[in-house]
Amino acid sequence: MEKYNPKLVCFSCKFGWGYLTEEPALASKINSWIPVVCSGKIDTSHILKAFRAGADGVLILGCSEGHCHYQDGNVQTKKKVFLLQKVLETFGIEPQRVEIRFSLDPEGKSMPHLLNKMKENLIKLGPVKRL
Amino acid sequence: MANKPKVAIYWLGACAGCDEAIVDLNEAILQVVETVEIVLWPLAMDFKYDRIEAMGDEEITLSILTGSVRNSDHEEMARLLRKKSKLVLAFGACACFGGTAGLANFKTREDIFNWVYRDAPTVVNPETKFPQTETRINGKILTLPEFYDHVYTLNQIIDVDFYLPGCPPPPDLIANAVNAVVSGDLPPKGSTLAPRSALCDTCSRNKKKPSRMEIRQIKRIHEVEADPDSCFLAQGIICLGPATRSGCGETCIKTNIPCRGCFGPPPGVVGAGPKYLSALTSLIKAETDEDIREIIDSIDDPAGYFYRFTEPTSILGRKMPGKQMEE
Ligand code: SF4
Ligand code: SF4
């Protein structure tokens, strides 16, 4: 049997993550990476669509609290994610499949590592059961 | 009689509330009966299905179909009436978006059967018998419709010409819809026969909405004495008004009950559930992660709130992508 390799979608804020590294160089290390201007731009429907399209997990990387370029876009997204996790559970999608992290990493060096860590957790969960 | 337009009214996975709403047209129904010939209406009259089968294609001018599609019998009747009708109206929240019955999609067919026929405390079923589509008794075969593993909206099964939402739809919009068909003055195919604005735009409580709303605590309507004039959301009570189409007549709002969303989303809104979720969380005011979680955890069954009438059309809930009406 082929080894289960979870599909992860990563949204990250361009103001806090990886902006000092050329996008294609970073993208080659991160599959399904979607840099956005402010994590506050991430709509709940984007996350749902990722799951509908077959994602096993969604990782959201926003700026540290107090560092949002648009005041509090990151906190707004955090609130959305907390509630969305409860809604997803009812659809049979475990809350751990959406992760939100706040930090600053202009070179994006930690990004592949964060993705791998989340992947490890998803391997323990296995594929999404319902859908 | 021969020249009167033929109308069929039929219930699929419905509760008969929609039929009742048609009966509630009162005197107006008599006018309707004058102008059309009702060829099928199980709630009110006795008809034989083979009479419908014997009709020519598109012989029926309008079929008003209520309810969702949950079993093979619903599907068969929906297909038969589609074939025999020029126009099909999806009538009520269940036919349009799945309705409350659509919440069953949060469970599998197996979960549902186990609960209903085995585990519920009121069930006595010592041999754990589950319904079968075919049972042999004394050499005869008894059949039952097949219970699908999913609740479908009408347009996930057949082509639908018009939609009339509501649980059930209000009398003025029903009368308008029937008159539009009888007079031939019809909007473009696919239209929803209801206003285009969101409920908040027409709600009288909107005037009392503070310019900056902040929710620090979520309250449920039965736990508080809600102010009869102020916006529910401003009082921390979940109201689906911002994500719901207007036209219902606001019976709930007028009786001091928040909107539950039975009219579905306003036109052009894709993913009303997640949109509402984002809007609601943006109003939540809390400092620490713990405080945010506490407020969010106090929302009982958020999925049930946000998808109460629309689960089968939702991004994650729908099963036949690409065919649904706008979410
Ligand atoms: S829309 Fe409401 S009234 Fe109509 S069948 Fe469904 S539950 Fe009953
Ligand atoms: S949220 Fe509800 S109460 Fe407030 S204006 Fe909208 S419909 Fe009216």
> Is it the case that residue A2 has pLDDT exceeding 80?
no
Give me the pLDDT at residue B47, please: 86
| Residue A113 Cα to ligand 1 middle (Å) | 51
> Is it the case that residue B33 has pLDDT exceeding 90?
no
Return the structure tokens found at A25: 């160089």
From B15, B91, B152, the mutation candidate for ligand 1 (largest count of ligand atoms within 8 A of CB) is B15
Decide if A117 is inside a domain: yes
Give me the pLDDT at residue B320, please: 63
Give me the pLDDT at residue B323, please: 40
What lies within 8 Å, CB to CB, of B325 at 6+ separation is: B96, B153, B155, B160, B163, B190, B192, B313
Give the confidence band of B215 by pLDDT, cuts at 50, 70, 90.
very high
Taking the CA of residue B204 as reference, the ligand 2 atom at the shortest distance is 8
Q: What percent of chain B has pLDDT over 90?
A: 83
In chain B, the residue whose alpha carbon lies closest to the alpha carbon of A46 is B274
Decide if A100 is inside a domain: yes
Decide if A3 is inside a domain: no
What lies within 8 Å, CB to CB, of B186 at 6+ separation is: B87, B162, B180
User: Which residues of chain B lie closer than 8 angstroms to A87, CB-CB?
Assistant: 273, 277, 302-303, 306
C-alpha span between A46 and A43 (Å, rounded): 5
C-alpha span between A100 and B114 (Å, rounded): 37
Give me the pLDDT at residue B325, please: 39
| Residue B208 Cα to ligand 2 middle (Å) | 9
B189 at interface of A, judged by CB pairs closer than 8 A: no
Evaluated on CA atoms A53, B161, B90, B167, the torsion sign reads positive
Helices A73-90 and B272-283, interaxial angle, to 10°?
Answer: 130
Total domains, chain A: 1
Contact B277 A80 (CB under 8 A): yes
Burial class, B188, CB count within 10 angstroms (exposed 0-12 / middle 13-18 / buried 19+): exposed
Give the confidence band of A58 by pLDDT, cuts at 50, 70, 90.
very high
Give the confidence band of A1 by pLDDT, cuts at 50, 70, 90.
low
| Residue B116 Cα to ligand 2 middle (Å) | 37
The four Cα atoms A36, A37, A42, A46 give a dihedral, to 10 degrees, of -40
Mean pLDDT of the residues in chain B: 93
Give me the pLDDT at residue B219, please: 95
Give me the pLDDT at residue B134, please: 96
Averaged pLDDT, B16-38: 88
Give me the pLDDT at residue A111, please: 94
Of B68-72, B139-143, B289-293, B323-327, the one with minimum mean pLDDT is: B323-327
> Is it the case that residue B321 has pLDDT exceeding 50?
no
Q: What percent of chain B has pLDDT over 70?
A: 97
Separation in Å, CA of B60 to nearest CA in chain A: 38
Give me the pLDDT at residue B2, please: 57
Averaged pLDDT, B38-49: 91
B302 at interface of A, judged by CB pairs closer than 8 A: yes
| Residue B153 Cα to ligand 1 middle (Å) | 12
Give me the pLDDT at residue B324, please: 40
Averaged pLDDT, A75-79: 93
Return the structure tokens found at B299: 């929302």
B237 close to ligand 2 (CB < 6 Angstrom): no
Decide if A130 is inside a domain: no
From B89, B91, B100, B252, the mutation candidate for ligand 1 (largest count of ligand atoms within 8 A of CB) is B100
Averaged pLDDT, B72-82: 97
Complex prediction ipTM: 0.89
User: Which residue is closest in CA terms to ligand 2's atom 4?
Assistant: B231
B67 close to ligand 1 (CB < 6 Angstrom): yes
Decide if A2 is inside a domain: no
Decide if A47 is inside a domain: yes
B93 close to ligand 1 (CB < 6 Angstrom): yes
In chain B, the residue whose alpha carbon lies closest to the alpha carbon of A42 is B278
| Residue B100 Cα to ligand 1 middle (Å) | 8
B283 at interface of A, judged by CB pairs closer than 8 A: no
> Is it the case that residue B210 has pLDDT exceeding 90?
no
User: Which residue is closest in CA terms to ligand 2's atom 7?
Assistant: B241
Domains of chain B: 6-100+149-183 (3.40.50.700), 107-148 (no CATH), 199-313 (no CATH)
Taking the CA of residue B99 as reference, the ligand 1 atom at the shortest distance is 6
pLDDT (tens digit, 9 = 90+) per residue, B194-209?
Answer: 999 999 999 999 988 8
Give me the pLDDT at residue B127, please: 94
C-alpha span between B256 and B242 (Å, rounded): 17
> Is it the case that residue A30 has pLDDT exceeding 90?
no
Name the region of B41 (left: φ>0; alpha: ψ -120 to 50; beta: rest): beta
Give me the pLDDT at residue B271, please: 77
| Residue B292 Cα to ligand 1 middle (Å) | 36
Give me the pLDDT at residue A71, please: 87
Taking the CA of residue B230 as reference, the ligand 2 atom at the shortest distance is 3
From B221, B229, B235, B239, the mutation candidate for ligand 2 (largest count of ligand atoms within 8 A of CB) is B239
> Is it the case that residue B270 has pLDDT exceeding 80?
no
Give me the pLDDT at residue B88, please: 98
Give the confidence band of B322 by pLDDT, cuts at 50, 70, 90.
very low
What would the DSSP string read from start to end of A42-111? --HHHHHHHHHTT-SEEEEEEPPTT--TTSSHHHHHHHHHHHHHHHHHHTT--GGGEEEEE--BTT-TTH
Residue numbers of the domain that contains A70: 8-125
> Is it the case that residue B318 has pLDDT exceeding 80?
yes
B108 at interface of A, judged by CB pairs closer than 8 A: yes
Contact A82 B277 (CB under 8 A): no
pLDDT (tens digit, 9 = 90+) per residue, B116-129?
Answer: 999 999 999 999 99
